[in-house]
Structure 1
Amino acid sequence: MNTKEYLKYLLNAKDWTQEEKKWMLRYLDANDLSELEAVAAEEFNTDIHAVKNILDRKLSENILDKIHQQIQTPPAVHTRVVRWYRSKIAAAALIVLIAGTVYFFKDNLNSFFNPVEMLQVAAGTRERKKVQLPDGSAVALEPGSTLEYPATFEGKERVVKLDGEAFFEVTKNPEHPFVIHTRFIHTTVLGTSFSVRAYGAQEAQVVVVTGRVKVQTAAQGKGSGEIEVTVNQSVVYNKATGQLEKREAAEEALFYERRHNGKFIYDGVAMATVVKDMERFYNTSIVLNGNVKHCIFYGSFYTSDELEKALRFVTVTLNAKVKKDSLANRYIITGGACH
């Protein structure tokens, strides 16, 4: 057998004969260790399919241990021989580890030597921003939110970082999944529309409007503890337990869809629901008093409308009145004649 095949045989053999030990020492003394590099790369190549791109460092350790264990330093040898032996073992270690590391982390190495410019967009406390990503995906940032993303997506995944709340419309690309990193959760998607809310230390939530996504906690390893959610479902991160909770979320999904489309349309909806949407969208407090609490609303308001204008649209159809309570920082709707 040739050198490469013989190396494979030795690295997989349980015990080495004295001749085999001498052969390995002669090989390590040679200037060309390319066969060992090739064998190491092939071993890693086989392993990568088995562990799905997760580096098993035990593989490289086993190869090095095999060399160390089988080749024992002869007793009563000259100090120069010991130094020679150690230097050759160190060279072999470098070859094995570099071969495996380069194979598994070639994308990371490329990113290190050719860093991609990172961009950041922040929405003020009273503004909303729309961001077009390099792959054509669209992100609608809510007030007080920050999005970080690369000027160009490279590597196997399209990764962005979010602090706050945003609505995503992801361009489909099965070869390069889209991943959103937040403090507590990571969300992976191929192509869909959904909302992510994760402000700082607050609990995190993902609500799916279309398509399907996978969510996992940031503290877990990739692929572990994943929860898959689809249309009208959500995942909430429970800080107390550190676990993800899957929930039905038809109303939540409808809210995000309306908000994203720029118009809240109601066709016979309880006023309590309308007020809840307005409180959430405008980040304010609204109180219903009197008959209006029992009314059903038919109408709409635009997301571009100021709060007072939207309130007038809602109350005028019900012949109700709205008053601002500046001290309590809230609005009070009273009266009303239900149709």
Structure 2
Amino acid sequence: MADNNNISPANNDTELARLIGESLPDLSKLDQTQDPLLPHLFSYKETVTSQTVSINSEALWDSISGEMNNPAEKARVLQLSPAVKRYLMAAAVLIIALVGSFMYQSYLSPVLIGESFASAEVIELQDGSTVTLRPYSKLFEIDNTNASAMYKLEGEGYFEVTPNPDRIFSVQTVMAEVQVLGTKFVLSDWGSTSSVYLQEGRIRYTALSSNQAIELEPGESSSVTENVQSPQIQSVNEDVFTDWLNNELVFRNESVEQVFSELEQHYNIQIQTAPEVAGEFLSGTIGLDSLSTVLRDLELVLGGTFTQTGPNSYVFNPGE
């Protein structure tokens, strides 16, 4: 390594570098007369220093603040073309509609308020009305205000509605709706059929798919199926609709298919049979004490046997 203390006096540039290094950081300690190059260096330093711009921080901030608060600039930044405004308004309306639809659907979402299993259950509503649910049926509340009470039924139920002329009481099934003021009626929704029977009062029965409606008087019934969307008034025996309330099954010239469908609802089972058996017609009364007793009685009437094929499924085979 070179020895900086043994620099040749004849090397002027090296000697000048050594002097500058020893005087740092205060170059004023240098004697400008020691080297002819030093005056030129100091002169250049003063020239550069004199060109340095002095920054006034307060003036600089006032300038920035003025630009930020300039109304003209604000208007320029926020100004939108008519096309963009239309797009933004349409988007806002769409968002509001979607949110409103979601809130409305959430508000009207059915809430389960009653359910029956192996036996009938009596549900008392807030207005004092009662609903007797047939086994394996469900009742949902859709809306309940001073002006209306709306419910949804799955299965079958016997309704005793407290009279209130200022309030609309309605019950929906998958295919139909019943509107009442004060009445007693039976509404069912099983076997691909929605049926209603009016015991007292007055109801309006509407097929939801066709929006066709009829008004029923006491002792009348009507029904809607997947293929029949125009409800018709029928006069029937009351016990055909209220039989299960007495724990029995009454059928008057009913098809075997209809009888099996009613048993499927009442016991939460499935029954399969040949088409020629399903098309036969029966009349009579069967007690609904137990499923085994009912199946045994039907075996005697139909002349065949029931075979259990699963936890809740049966097949009826006619005798030879």
Superposition TM-score tier, normalisation by shorter sequence: 0.3 to 0.5
Q: TM-score, normalised by structure 2?
A: 0.46
Q: Which structure has the bigger radius of gyration?
A: 2
> Scaled by the length of structure 1, what TM-score is found?
0.44
